[in-house]
């Protein structure tokens, strides 16, 4: 009886899965930022040879020296996998052909007109296509609109003549990284995976299962892509809802924080969100607009996303209004007022100030002639897109007393809020960071 010769797909698939399961597959991670570096370290820790690819030579040099630059990565773990030779980094994208698995973790920003900018994905796709060979798994992790994997990446790879699902394997698996979250990490956050073909799904699931406890297989890359943008749209819309409630409660003279604390006691049917000075980070302010953009292609207007964007974008202007009113109570104009901002990071206990609404508040105040300083223990200095360089000032009693108004923009847990209230002339608290402060509350104004 003639033995059935396994089809080429089975050959490539079997060989690659064997390499994955023995952790001998070389893993390339393209984009070693807050998503890519934690993934690279997790794979290296279990023995995979990992190569980080990045256009930023500074990051590549830091990895090469075992120097960590991502707060959610353990310094010693990074150093260990670099020193034992498991993790290296390069700016040489021609080495992509040496990788059996390539994970794409590049940014997906927006243009000034809120249109998706998938140029990073396209450039990496072209580089991979130039090196594509049988036996490779390509996984896109960057958050993007449904259809990107099959409409943008697949054509670039198919143009090589290699057959997806037989010669190489293509999947989408959204990153689910919550910067600063100590409880949910790259390892214990369950992973959604969608393959272009069933064989692609099998191979991609086998890869992620090596370091992530729960891998959820879905029916296609589109489902996986849509899952991610839905998750972030859910957050953006609910944050906008609570921000709109804050705007209304300001009119009603109702303390929104008491309302939220009370509503959060309901044990079912509600999820807590808090108002704030706006929405920052590389995901929530941006990702929903990827979905809105794609929806327009189908004559569909995602009104919740547009409305949520309007409300969240309006919050820094509301904060400026609160400061104006707090100064008015002192008979002081905003012009030439000395304002001290506490926090510029986009959320507490992290050092990331990109897309931070706090930066928008500083600019709005300066546009009205205020003299603005900031203190942020996590952000010693930063340079805005227009080149303006800012430095964190020390938090001293004199600095506090010398300010006409202190505005709390980031509720870092390391700040002594009682000291701030004790020595500030007036405090506008956009995060309810002073909730535990008892003395001197009469000079605190909440969002």
In whole angstroms, how far apart are CA 175 and each of 11, 20, 37, 224, 446? 29, 20, 12, 10, 35
User: Would you state the structure tokens that stand for residue 222, as one six-digit string?
Assistant: 């589109």
Please state the closest distance from residue 245 (CB atom) to ligand SAJ, in A.
12
Give me Rg for the CA atoms of the chain: 25
Please say which residue, 392 or 430, places its beta carbon nearer to ligand SAJ.
Answer: 430
User: Binding of ligand SAJ at residue 175 (CB under 6 A)?
Assistant: yes
Cβ-count burial 331-358 (b if 16+ within 10 Å, e if not): ebebeebbbbbbbbbbbbbbbbbebbbb
**Binder of ligand SAJ out of 59, 235, 294, 375 (CB under 6 A):** 235
| Number of Cβ atoms within 10 Å of the Cβ of 373 | 16
User: Hey, which residues between 143 and 162 contact ligand SAJ (CB under 6 A)?
Assistant: 143
For the CB of residue 296, give the shortest distance to ligand SAJ in the complex, in Å: 22
Binding mask 284-323 for ligand SAJ (x = CB under 6 A): x---------------------------------------
Which residues are designated catalytic?
283
Residue among 19, 166, 176, 360 that touches ligand SAJ (CB under 6 A)? 176
* CB nearer ligand SAJ, residue 83 or residue 317: 317
Residue 179 touches ligand SAJ, criterion: CB under 6 A = yes
Residues 6+ apart with CB under 8 A from 239: 273, 276, 279, 284, 308, 312
* Options 112-120, 232-240, 290-298, 362-370: segment touching ligand SAJ (CB under 6 A): 232-240
| Near ligand SAJ in 258-287, by CB under 6 A | 273-274, 276, 279-281, 283-284
Least distance CB 136 / ligand SAJ (angstroms):
26
**At 374, which helix (H) or strand (E)?**
strand 371-375
Q: Does residue 141 interact with ligand SAJ by CB under 6 A?
A: no
- For residue 79, what are the β-bridge partners? none
Q: At what angle do helices 8-21 and 198-208 cross, to 10 degrees?
A: 10
Q: Quote the tokens at residue 167.
A: 């010669």
Looking at the DSSP bridge assignments, the partners of residue 194 are 172, 218
Residues binding ligand SAJ: what is the number (CB under 6 A)?
A: 19
Alpha helix positions (H), 196-302: 198-208, 221-252, 256-263, 287-296
Question: How far apart, in whole angstroms, are the C-alpha atoms of residue 420 and residue 435?
Answer: 13
- What phi and psi values does residue 406 have, to the nearest 5 degrees? -105, 130
Of the two residues 50 and 246, which places its CB atom closer to ligand SAJ in the complex? 246
Minimum CB separation from ligand SAJ for residue 439, in Å?
Answer: 27
Closer CB to ligand SAJ, 284 or 359, in the complex: 284
Residues that bind ligand SAJ in the complex, under the rule CB under 6 A: 143, 175-179, 232, 235, 239, 273-274, 276, 279-281, 283-284, 346-347
């Amino acid at each position: 009886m003639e033995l059935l010769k396994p089809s080429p797909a089975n050959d490539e698939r079997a060989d690659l899965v064997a390499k994955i399961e023995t952790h001998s597959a070389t893993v390339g991670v393209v984009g070693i930022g807050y998503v890519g570096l934690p993934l690279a370290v997790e794979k290296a820790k279990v023995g995979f040879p990992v190569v980080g690819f990045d256009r930023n030579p500074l990051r590549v040099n830091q990895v090469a020296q075992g120097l960590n630059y991502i707060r959610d990565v353990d310094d010693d773990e990074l150093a260990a996998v670099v020193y034992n030779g498991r993790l290296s980094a390069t700016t040489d994208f021609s080495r992509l052909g040496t990788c059996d698995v390539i994970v794409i973790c590049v940014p997906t920003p927006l243009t000034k007109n809120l249109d998706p900018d998938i140029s990073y994905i396209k450039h990496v796709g072209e580089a991979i296509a130039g090196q594509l060979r049988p036996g490779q798994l390509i996984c896109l992790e960057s958050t993007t609109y449904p259809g990107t994997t099959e409409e943008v990446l697949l054509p670039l790879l198919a143009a090589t003549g290699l057959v997806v699902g037989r010669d190489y394997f293509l999947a989408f698996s959204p990153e689910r990284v919550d910067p600063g979250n100590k409880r949910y990490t790259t390892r214990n956050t369950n992973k959604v995976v969608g393959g272009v073909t069933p064989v692609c799904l099998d191979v991609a699931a086998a890869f992620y299962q090596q370091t992530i406890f729960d891998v959820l297989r879905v029916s296609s890359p589109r489902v996986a892509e849509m899952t991610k943008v839905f998750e972030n749209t859910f957050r953006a819309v609910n944050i906008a809802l609570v921000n709109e409630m804050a705007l209304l409660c300001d009119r009603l003279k109702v303390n929104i924080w008491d309302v939220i604390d009370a509503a959060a006691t309901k044990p079912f049917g509600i999820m807590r969100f808090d108002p704030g000075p706006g929405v920052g980070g590389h995901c929530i302010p941006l990702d929903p607009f990827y979905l809105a953009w794609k929806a327009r292609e189908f004559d569909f207007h995602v009104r919740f996303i547009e409305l949520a964007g309007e409300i969240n974008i309006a919050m820094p202007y509301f904060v400026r209004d609160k400061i104006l009113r707090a100064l008015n109570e002192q008979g002081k104009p905003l012009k030439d007022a000395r304002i001290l901002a506490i926090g510029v990071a986009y959320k507490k206990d992290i050092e990331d100030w990109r897309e931070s609404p706090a930066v928008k508040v500083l600019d709005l105040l300066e546009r009205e002639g205020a003299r603005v300083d900031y203190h942020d223990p996590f952000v010693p200095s930063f340079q805005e897109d227009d080149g303006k360089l800012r430095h964190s000032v020390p938090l001293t009693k004199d600095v506090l007393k010398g300010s006409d108004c202190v505005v709390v923009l980031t509720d870092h847990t390391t700040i002594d809020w009682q000291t701030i209230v004790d020595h500030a002339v007036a405090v506008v608290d956009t995060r309810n960071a002073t909730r535990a402060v008892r003395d001197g509350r009469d000079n605190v104004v909440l969002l």
